[in-house]
Structure formats: C-alpha cells, structure tokens
Amino acid sequence: MNVTYNWWGVANEAAINQRIFDFDDWNIFTLAIFSPFFVTKENFISFWWKPQNGQLASEKHSEPSIYNLNGRIYESKNLTYNRERWHEFPFHYKPFEPYRIIKDLTIMPGATLTIEKGVEVHVWPNVRILVLGNLKAEGTYWEPIRFKPINVTEYVKGRDTIMARHKRSNHHCSFIRSKNLCRYQTKRQIKWLILINFII
C-alpha cells in the first residue's frame, strides 16, 4: 500500500513505524510504504501550498537484532547457544541469554535463519514466522531447540516500549448526525469538519 508523501504528526521514523500496523507487525496484512514522508507540518489545506516546498525524508531499512527478531530480515542470521560470563572469580556463568521474537517475523527470499542446538527462543503471544527464504533448525535429541512463551518479566518490561500504540481520540468533537458535521473545539479556535462515510 502506497502511503507516501504524508505528514504523520512526528518526524521520527521509529515513531512513524509504531503508528502504522502493517505487514511488519502482523504478516497477514499488506505492507505500508510510507517513505518518503514529510518531516514538518505544512499548510496542506491551503490552496497555495505546493508539495515541492515541503521537507521530505526517506526511510532507511535496518536489520533487527538477533535478540529481538521482528519484521522482515533480508540478511542471513545465526542464533547460537551462547553464555555470558561473570568476572573471572568465582568462575560462575550467567544463565544463557534467550532470543526473542517480539512481532511477526518474515524471512525474505535469499535470507537464511539458522537456529543451532540448545537455543531457547522466547515468543510473544500471537506471533508467527513466515518463511519465504530458508529456516534451519538444527536441534538434537539431547540438545533440542525450545520455543517458549515470553515470561511475565519480559512482557512487563517491553510492553510499553515495543508494543506502544497510538489511539485516536475525539474527546473534543461533538457530532451532528443529520448534517454530517463535527464541531471540533480547541483552546484557541473552533473548526467544522465534514464527515464522509466510505462504504466498500
């Protein structure tokens, strides 16, 4: 879906990604292409405004970290069984660090996701893996690969940062159903908006 050349209320690419729920969040939906996008609020409604006067920015694709897999991956990745050591004395090891899949993951053509034996992957609720490239799960009988639901601590820690969604509100809008008008009032001005119903 082409949603380019829009002002999303923010100029931050990461914030725009959070406001769009598309293929990268749930891979049964379509992909919203929002780049290039406007980074400043312009007078779009004005008849005299020209698009070439607006300031544009483009999205730069960044591969997700192997510890927080989500969205589309175009490069091959390897999930290895690794341990993090404490300091030299008393020679104890930290527990192994699990990998996480926090949103729907799509392995794109040409990319390979390799999961080695003994690896533990924590998966958020209702998350899927769509394989368009290659997926290699190299578990053994004695060292299986474990897919587990994310624990409560991880969920509470990442709930507000990863899955933050912006909701629309109409607290300042009063409707007049017969005339399809909305009276929108702010502290400084009052606007009348025409409501159009789209029926598909």
pLDDT at 120: 87
Q: Looking up tokens 């002002």, which residue turns up?
A: 7
Say if CB 149 and CB 126 are below 8 A apart: no
The continuous run of DSSP H or E covering 99 comes out as strand 99-107
Q: Looking up tokens 């927080």, which residue turns up?
A: 68
pLDDT at 96: 61
pLDDT at 87: 58
For the chain, the average pLDDT equals 73
Q: What is the pLDDT of residues 105-128, one digit of tens each?
A: 999 999 999 999 888 889 888 888
DSSP 77: E
Q: What is the pLDDT of residues 141-159, one digit of tens each?
A: 888 888 888 876 666 666 6
Alpha carbon distance 79, 118 (integer Å):
10
SS3 115: strand
pLDDT at 93: 57
Q: What is the pLDDT of residues 28-76, one digit of tens each?
A: 788 888 888 888 776 666 666 676 767 777 777 778 888 888 888 999 9
Alpha carbon distance 72, 32 (integer Å):
13
